[in-house]
Chain A
């Protein structure tokens, strides 16, 4: 069955350090790929999405993600994190059997060390 995996449950980085959150998916073709962020008490907010074309996607809040077909990965990166980036991050993939459904990974909680 199609799936999306976020191998890191919790990551802590120092403020100002670089960040990379991992996401792997299982799907034969190129799916639609998304990263969402969920701050405490808030709903999910779309950071960026990839459908086709340039494999490096720029998003909001200084985030970017790179689609690597050979590795079935869509990792999220930020060159320098801020304390306000502390949140839960979810990778999601479009379900190939559905025209409209996406499925979410289990999330990675990001903590920022002052």
Chain B
């Protein structure tokens, strides 16, 4: 597609529930990144895919968080047993390859855990 698409744009869920957040990157971009952003803060790295594999998942806060990219394009971030502290905007970005070249971000999913 023309840009990075994230769905849903907003998600409200109850504490303890499971959620899935979807990211559709720019066609042909091999690198895909998930970040989390709290109000007034910079994006915080979660996980990075190169193709289908997770090249770096060091930013995932705990084992409740998991992400997949089975065919090397669309990715899903999965959060189990959500907690109120998980509330944030979850941003997805893609880039043509490895390296610090410009990332294209999606508009994010605002997750609210009540």
Q: Are chains A and B native binding partners rather than an unrelated pairing?
A: no
Q: A residues bordering B, Cβ < 8 Å?
A: none
